[in-house]
Amino acid sequence: MMGRYLLRRLLLLLPVTWGVSTLVFLLIHLTPGDPVEVMLGETALPAAREALRQSLRLDRPLPEQYLHFLHGLVTGDLGTSLFSREPVFARLLQALPATAELAVTGLGVALMIAVPLGTVAAVRRGSGLDHGSRFVALLGVSVPNFVLAPLLILAFAIELNWLPVSGRGGLGHLILPALTLGMAFAGILSRMVRASLLEVLGQEYIRAARAKGLSEGRVILRHGLMASVIPVITIVGLQFGALLSGAIITETIFAWPGLGRLTLQAIQARDYPLVQGCVLVISFGYVLVNTATDLLYAYADPRIRYE
Amino acid sequence: MRRGLLPFGVAIVLLGLGACGTGEGRSAAAVVAAIETNPVTLDPRVATDALSLHVTGLLFNALVRVDDHLRVLPDLARRWEQPDDRTVIFHLRQGVQFHHGRELTADDVRFTFESLQTIAPAHTPLLQEVKEIRVLDRYRVAFHLKRPFAPLLYHLTVGIVPADLASQAGFGQAPVGTGPFRFARWGQNEQVELEAFPGYFGGSPRITRLRLRIIPDATIRFLELKQGNIDLLLGSLPPEIVSLVDSLPGVQTATGPSSNYTYVGFNLRDPILADVKVRRAIAHALDRKGLIAHLLRGQATAATGLLFPQHWAYEPQVVTFPFDPERARRLLDEAGHPVRKGGVRFALTFKATTGELSRAIAEAIQFQLAQVGIRVEIRSYEWGTFYADIKSGNFQLYVLTWVGIADPDYYQYVFHSDSLPPLGANRGYYRNSEVDRLLLRGRRTSDTGGRKATYSRIQQILAEELPYISLWHELRWVAYKARIRGFSLMPGGDFIPLKDVWLDDP
C-alpha cells in the first residue's frame, strides 16, 4: 500500500519535469542575448556565425529545437554545453557532490541550532530564554547571507584564524558556508519548533503522560517533540529544495564549486543546454525531497496513512 | 538536559578538525594564484575570453608572440621570410617537445590552423586571408595569402596543438601543448593545477607547481591574500580594495601600463549625437582626471585613443578636449541646443551593466553632464542583455572597455564602414571614407614605417571626430608575497611571466 503510494509519487516526476523544462526552455530562449555572439565576439564574419549556429542547431525554428530537446530528455541525453563543448551530464555530475555536501550540512547546522532553541523557548515560555531565542531567530532571518558570510569569515578565519577563508576541502572548509546557509533557516525553524511544541504540550495526552509519572524530560522529548515534528518536516522539505538550488550567493562568496554557481554562469552565458540541465537537476531534487517529506510524515505520525 | 550538550560537543570537535584544515601543505616551490572565473576551455584554438587565453598561454606556444610594445617576436618560429608580399615561410625551432613526448613539426602547425576552419570560427579574419598552408619540410611551413595582409603575424598567436591528440573529444579539458607548464588537473569552478614541464625548450620554470584557485568574490581574494593562502593576485580587484593591499605586511605590489581601453561610445545615428559639436561638448564636460582620481583611485592613465602610449603605432599628437564646462555650454548653444525650462537642454539615455564600477562611472558622468544642462537617464542591465542592446544599436551612450588590442588593424573592426554589426564592431555606425581608405592601406602595406604613418593619421582623424570619447587605460596591477621574485607585468595581463618566477625562501 505504501509501495503503491510511493510509485504514484515518483510517477509525478514525469509531468513536473516536463512542465519545468518547457517553461525554462521558453524563458531562456526568449531572453535577449545570443550565445553565438557571446562565444564568437565581434570579429567573426556572418558566415562563421551561421556555421556555428547551424552546428548548434540554433538556426532551426523554435518548435523544432523544442522537439529535439524533448527527444534528448526522453533518451536521457542532456546535450553538450555550448561553451565548453563538454557533455552537460558530466558537468552536472561534477558540481553535484559539492552542492549536496553543502545542502546537507547546512540543514544539519540549522537543525542543531533550531531544535534546542525552539524546544527551550517552548518549555520555558515567557521567560528570558524565550525572548532571547526569539531575538536570535529574528537575527538569523534578517541578516542576509552576503552580510553574514563576510562577518563569519572576518571573525573565524581572519581574527581567530581557526578556519580557512574559502574554497572546498576538508571538514574545516565546510563549517563557515554551512553556518551561513543554516542560520537563516535556523531562525524560521526554531519558531516553527516552538509553536508546534507549544500546541502539542497543551494536549490532553501530555497531561496524561505527566499524570502517569513520566519525567518531564521524557514527556517533552518522547511525546512532545515527536508529535510536533510534522510542521517541522514540512518546512524542512520545502527549504531543502531551496538549499539545493539557491545557495548561489554563499557558493560565490566561499568559492564553493556547486550547482548554484554553475546555473548562474550558464544563464549569463546563455548556455541553453547547460541551463536546462541545471534546472532539471534542481526540479528533480525538489520532487524527490517532497516525496521523502511525505513519507517521513507517515513514519513520524502513526495516525497518518496513505492509500 | 544531557542531550543539549551533544550538539555543543560536536561543534568543538568540528572546530578542531577545521583548524587542521587551515594550514595548506605545499612544497616549497609551488605557487598559488587566484583567478576570477572558471576558464571556459583550455583549447587555445577555441578560447576567446581573456582568462582562458591567459591560462592556455602557460600551456602552449604559438608561431610568434608579442612584447611589451606589442611588437612581434619569435616563439616556435625562430625566423621567417617573405619571398613575396603574399607568402610567409616560417622556420621552426628544432627539438621542441610536446608534453606527451613527441617533437613538434610543421605538420602540427598546419593541422592547428586548418582545424580552425571547423572548430573555431572566431578566427575568421585570418581564415579569410589565407589561401593555403603548405608543409615544405619537417621544420618549414609556408602560408600563402590571397592578398597582402599586414596584420598576419598578430593572428598567428594561436597556440599550436598536437595533430595526433587535438581531434579527440575532451582536448579542451585535458590539453597537451609545448608550453613551460603542463596540465595536471582541473576541478571545474575550483582550481586549475599545472606543473612545470622540464623539457620546455626555453628552460624549465623554477617553480614546480602552479595552482590557479578560482575565487569569484573580490573581497575574498583580498582576504585570502591577507591570510597568506595565495601567493599572487594579478589584477582583478576593485580600486577601493587595491589601496588596502599596500598596507598588507609581506605583500608587494607593482603596477604597469595596460593595453585595455575604456571609452564612451556614441550612437552616431541618433539625431542629437550625430552633430560633432555635441560630442565635443560632452568631451569638454567630462572631468576625466577627476574620474580617474576618485572612482579608480588613480589606477589608470588618461587615454587619447585606442592604442596605449607604449604601443609602437601610438600617435601622441592628437587633438584633445580638456575639462572645460564653460566651453561645453558654448558649444551646445552653438549647436542649437539652448537651455530650456528646468535648466535642461536635452536628455540622453546611458546604458550600463549591473557591475558596481560601471554604475559608478555612469552616475559620475550623469552628474558632470548635468552641470552643462544635459539630463542623463541611466539604465543598467545584466551583461547578456546589455551586450545585445549595444550590438543592435539600441542605445545612445554607453561605457565599455576594449581588451586585447594588439595590431592596429583592430581599428578596421571598430571604425570601418563595412564593419557595421553584425559584420563587425562599428556599433556607433561611424562612416568616414578617408578613414576607410587609410584602414585598407594599413592592412595591405607590409612596411612598418608606412603603416605607422597611416595609423597616425587615423588616430588624428578619430580624435577630431569623436565617434568615441577616450577615457582611460586602466593600469595593470599585481600583488604578490615577498617570497616571489622575477614577476613582470605585461600590458595584456598575460600569465606567461610566471615561467620566469622563482621563490626566495630564507
Model pLDDT for residues B284-303, shown as the tens digit of each residue: 999 999 999 999 989 999 99
Report the 10 Å Cβ neighbour count for A19: 11
Q: For the residues A40-57, what does the mean pLDDT come to? A: 74
The fold adopted by the segment(s) B1-59+179-256+476-506 is: D-Maltodextrin-Binding Protein; domain 2 (3.40.190)
Residues forming CATH 3.40.190.10 domain(s) in chain B: 1-59+179-256+476-506
Is there a contact between B410 and B306 (Cβ–Cβ < 8 Å)? yes
Name the residue facing A255 among B10, B170, B220 (closest C-beta). B220
Residues forming CATH 3.90.76.10 domain(s) in chain B: 61-168
**Does residue A93 sit at the B interface (CB-CB below 8 Å)?**
no
Q: How far apart are CA A250 and CA A102, in angstroms?
A: 10
Chain mean pLDDT for chain A: 83
Q: Above 70 in pLDDT, residue B23?
A: no
User: Residue B16: what pLDDT?
Assistant: 43
- CB contacts of B21 in chain A (<8 Å) are 163-164, 169-173
- Residue B93 DSSP class: P
What are B307's three cell numbers?
592604442
Q: How far apart are CA A291 and CA A298, in angstroms?
A: 11
**Nearest alpha carbon to residue B477 among B290, B239, B215:** B239
Test A112 with B10 for CB contact under 8 angstroms: yes
Residues forming CATH 3.10.105.10 domain(s) in chain B: 261-474
Residue that is written with C-alpha cell 513520566 in the block: A214
Q: Any idea what the Cα angle at residue A45 is, between residues A39 and A48, rounded to 5°? A: 65
Q: Above 90 in pLDDT, residue B19?
A: no
Residue B66 belongs to what H/E stretch?
strand B64-66
- ipTM of the complex model: 0.83
Cβ neighbours for A227, distance < 8 A, ≥ 6 positions apart: A200, A203, A301
- Please state which architecture CATH assigns to domain B61-168: Alpha-Beta Complex (3.90)
Per-residue CA distances from B45 to A192, A215, B155, B261 (Å): 56, 74, 11, 25
Letter string b/e over residues B39-74, b meaning 16 or more CB atoms within 10 A of that residue's CB: bbbbbbbbbbbebbbbbbbbbbbbbbbbeeebebee
Confidence (pTM)? 0.86
- CB contacts of A147 in chain B (<8 Å) are none
End-to-end CA distance of chain A: 6
Q: How far apart are CA B58 and CA B70, in angstroms?
A: 18
**What whole-number percentage of chain B has pLDDT above 70?**
94
* Chain B contact probe: residue of A43, A175, A179 with most B CBs at under 10 A: A43
Is there a contact between B210 and B31 (Cβ–Cβ < 8 Å)? yes
The fold adopted by the segment(s) B261-474 is: Dipeptide-binding Protein; domain 3 (3.10.105)
Q: Using one digit for the tens of pLDDT, what is the confidence trace for A199-253?
A: 888 877 777 777 887 777 777 777 777 777 778 888 888 877 777 665 888 999 9
- CB contacts of B219 in chain A (<8 Å) are 150, 253
User: Helices marked H in B376-432 — which ranges?
Assistant: 383-391, 410-415
Cβ neighbours for B503, distance < 8 A, ≥ 6 positions apart: B28, B29, B31, B206, B207, B483, B484, B485
Rounded to the nearest angstrom, the minimum Cα separation between A59 and chain B is 16
Is there a contact between B505 and B26 (Cβ–Cβ < 8 Å)? no
What are B164's three cell numbers?
595526433
User: Helices marked H in B309-370 — which ranges?
Assistant: 325-334, 356-370
Test A175 with B15 for CB contact under 8 angstroms: yes
Is there a contact between B462 and B451 (Cβ–Cβ < 8 Å)? no
Q: How far apart are CA A72 and CA A270, in angstroms?
A: 19
**Nearest alpha carbon to residue B427 among A267, A50, A41, A32:** A41
- CB contacts of B220 in chain A (<8 Å) are 153, 165-166, 253-255
Contacts 24+ apart (CB under 8 A), B49-52: B50/B403, B50/B404, B50/B493
Q: Using one digit for the tens of pLDDT, what is the confidence trace for A106-156?
A: 999 999 999 888 888 888 888 888 898 889 889 888 888 889 999 999 999
Per-residue CA distances from B428 to A10, B200, B417 (Å): 55, 46, 10
Report the 10 Å Cβ neighbour count for A146: 13
User: Residue B365: what pLDDT?
Assistant: 96
Q: How far apart are CA B238 and CA B215, in angstroms?
A: 14
Q: How far apart are CA B498 and CA B487, in angstroms?
A: 6
Q: Using one digit for the tens of pLDDT, what is the confidence trace for B167-224?
A: 888 899 999 999 999 999 999 999 999 999 999 999 999 999 999 999 999 999 999 9
Test B18 with A175 for CB contact under 8 angstroms: yes
Name the residue facing B122 among A44, A46, A254 (closest C-beta). A44
Q: How far apart are CA A105 and CA A101, in angstroms?
A: 6
